[in-house]
Amino acid sequence: MKSALSSKVQNGEIIVLDALTMEAPKTKEFAQILKNINAGKKALVVTAENNTNVIKSAANIEGVATATVNTINVYDILKYDSFVITTDAVKKVEEVYA
């Protein structure tokens, strides 16, 4: 897991967001957010906790998947071109894998 994450960091494929909140599940808005941060066509969005609005917003976007820190695995990290993660999730990853 550590080496997969290190690889993403070295390749500049990790995008860290201060927060990722959606007031309502809006696919179009979420797609625009991903476009604005240059997440690419295949992105794994990782949050610290289950965020229903983010999950529903991303569900209909081809090539985008969501996960929490507790559910990510090496396959998912390597499968997606970009790894979008919130600062809260980064802290949890550091606690678990550091």
Q: What is the pTM of this model?
A: 0.92
pLDDT at residue 38 above 90?
Answer: yes
Q: What number is the average pLDDT over the span 23-51?
A: 95
CB-based contacts of 35, cutoff 8 Å, min separation 6: none
The maximal CA–CA distance of the chain, rounded, in angstroms, is: 36
Q: What is the pLDDT of residues 41-56, one digit of tens each?
A: 999 999 999 999 999 9
pLDDT at residue 94 above 80?
Answer: yes
What's the pLDDT at 42?
Answer: 96
Q: Could you tell me the CATH superfamily of domain 2-97?
A: Ribosomal protein L4/L1 (3.40.1370.10)
Q: How far is Cα 60 from Cα 45, in angstroms, rounded to an integer?
A: 14
pLDDT at residue 35 above 80?
Answer: yes
What's the pLDDT at 2?
Answer: 87
Q: How far is Cα 85 from Cα 66, in angstroms, rounded to an integer?
A: 10
Q: How far is Cα 12 from Cα 31, in angstroms, rounded to an integer?
A: 21
Phi and psi angles of residue 24, each rounded to the nearest 5 degrees, phi first: -145, 155
pLDDT at residue 1 above 90?
Answer: no
Q: How far is Cα 97 from Cα 29, in angstroms, rounded to an integer?
A: 32
Question: What are the extents of the domains in the chain?
Answer: 2-97
Q: What number is the average pLDDT over the span 70-88?
A: 95
